[in-house]
A and B are shown apart, each in its own frame.
Chain A
Amino acid sequence: MVEIAHRTSPLEGRGFEGDGISLSVAKPASRLSLRAPEGSLPALSEALGLELPQRPKSTSTKGNRAALWLGPDEWLVIDEDGADLMAICGKIPDLHSAVDTSHRNVAIEVSGARSADVLSAGCPQDLSLARFPVGASSRTVFGKVEIILWRRDEQTFHVECWRSFSAYGFDLLEAAAREAE
């Protein structure tokens, strides 16, 4: 009989609701760290069903799948339905590197009117709508950990961080959320 490992989140049961701020742990998702030269992008975009963005700080989404620009030849692809992204990329003969990072990252949803203020407690980037508009995403820092920040709408941010750093990240977010009340 095959035994299947039970998946546990390091943030199991965590959450916070405050005035104008809500912190919640995102559901598990498939994630892909994708590196590819420009020539491979049309084939990869077609296979993934969305255009891999080529402008700094930009994203593209299609349904529950998103591609976040991280660097000139680097993307983070997230599929919230848990699709097998490795199998999709495995069929592409064009040069690329795809690494499944589904279990490496944990995502926290930060939403509410004060979401940008709470994130600014640890993130040094300008999170005003003018500089970090809806749909923008970027790798950056939050306190002492590296995160990938993605603004999904005016008051909702998706924060991706490494599993082992996620308790620190959540603690700092929660402390900031309480402090600013």
Chain B
Amino acid sequence: MLLIHCPYCEEERPEPEFRHAGEAHIARAENITELSDEEFERHFFIRSNPKGIAFERWRHMHGCARFFNAARDTLSDKFLVTYKIGTPKPDLSGEIRRK
């Protein structure tokens, strides 16, 4: 079982308390009515799904119930870092280069 660090509970908690909640840092268009169908499709459906380090939203569903962001390696399923919603993407260039 994975232990995931919840930035709101400030400790590692067991995986069954968490839910995956899609890709993180997706900017919602401010002028959504002006988007073309193709642009809307890209915004709404198309996700990066990388092999390696992915930035994801997770929710501590059965804990504090808060959404937070996480950088997870999709190859090893290792969580590199978790951080609160609203904080900028951490710099993981060192980790990515190492791959």
Q: Which residues of A contact B (CB under 8 A)?
A: 56-57, 70-72, 74, 124-125, 138-141, 146
Contact = CB atoms under 8 A, between A and B. Distances in A.
Contact of B10 (A56, A138, A139): A56
Contact of B66 (A57, A71, A125): A71
Contact of A139 (B1, B11, B16, B63): B63
Given A140-B63, A141-B17, 14 more contacts: A57-B9, A71-B65, A71-B66, A72-B8, A72-B64, A74-B64, A124-B14, A124-B15, A124-B17, A138-B9, A139-B63, A140-B17, A140-B62, A141-B62
Interface in B1-53: 1, 8-11, 13-17
A33 to B, nearest CB: 11
Contacts of A71: 8, 63-66
Nearest to B60: A71
Nearest to A145: B62
Contacts of B8: 56, 71-72
A136 B30 CA distance: 43
A138 B66 CA distance: 14
Given A56-B8, A57-B9, A139 B14 contact: no
Interface in B60-74: 62-66
Contact of A72 (B13, B14, B62, B66): B66
A146 B65 CA distance: 12
12 contacts: A56-B8, A57-B9, A70-B65, A71-B64, A72-B8, A74-B65, A124-B17, A138-B63, A139-B62, A140-B17, A140-B62, A141-B16
Sorting the interface of chain B by its residue count into under 10, 10 to 19, 20 to 34 or 35 or more gives 10 to 19
Given A56-B8, A71-B8, A139 B13 contact: no
Contacts of B13: 125, 140
A56 B9 CA distance: 5
Nearest to B84: A72
A138 to B, nearest CB: 7
A56 B63 CA distance: 10
Nearest to A147: B62
The 4 A-B pairs of least Cβ separation, nearest first, read A124-B14, A71-B64, A56-B9, A141-B62
Given A56-B8, A56-B9, A71-B8, A124 B65 contact: no
B16 A56 contact: no
B14 A56 contact: no
Contacts of A125: 13-14
B62 A146 contact: yes
A140 to B, nearest CB: 6
